[in-house]
Amino acid sequence: MTGRGRFEGEGVIVTGASRGLGRCIAHAFGAEGARVGVAFRTRRDEAEETLALVEAGGGSGEVLQLDVRDEAAVEHAFKMFEAGAPLSVLVNCAAVVYDQMFPMMPPNEWDAVIATNLTGTYRCCRAAVRPMMARRRGAIVNVSSIGGVRASPGQANYSASKAGVLGLTVTLAAELAPYGVRVNAVAPGLFKTGMGARLDRRIAEARGKMVPLGRFGEGEELANVVLFLASPAASYIVGQCIVVDGGMSL
């Protein structure tokens, strides 16, 4: 890497970074010189692959095994990361889906999605904000979804969790801005990587036709928005959700 990146030497944790959009985001921070905590739950080999991409791009980092549903595990991992460098940026990307039409949705699938997508975001924010407040600087970017702002049949649990992430985002933004900590969100639409990559081909083609740009997004296109929101270039942006969906929600 030539010159200094926007996040040279800054500590960044990305949850759900072992693959998909989380991997793209972690890679992008690495390319900007960040020290990246590649947080994962079970796929250590894939997390190591993400870390290799981070390092190849000019960054540094470590893998952080944690389950965002486990408060003690989150607290421990964040403290271990902070021991190496202050945490400047947190990106909450960890999420699960258990799609089912609401009348057939069992309670355990509702609970699992809420526990990971919403409560997991709460736990990670809680672990990050205290040292950020003490230093009076930091940025949090929560990954929501267009499913959190519009109807998504078959995803009542996922939509509720992602709408909850948006409510958490705006309230934290108002509480933390006076302490120099900015909180914002992104709402991705359909992307070639992550959950979009696991769609049946025929479903993917049909949904792709619903996007005004006529295509699924590239992971880098979401990562660029996340990096912008976390960077000094967005220093006066607080409590906003940027929809990144190629116009699908218009």
The catalytic residue positions are 158
Write the DSSP assignment of 89-123 as a string of letters: EEEE---------GGG--HHHHHHHIIIIIIHHHH
CA distances from 185 to 98, 118, 126, 145, 206 (A): 22, 13, 16, 9, 27
Give the torsion sign (CA, 223, 203, 205, 199): positive
DSSP state string for 27-56? HHHHHTT-EEEEEESS-HHHHHHHHHHHHH
DSSP sequence for 192-243: SSGGGGGS-HHHHHHHHTTSTTSSPBPHHHHHHHHHHHHSGGGTT--S-EEE
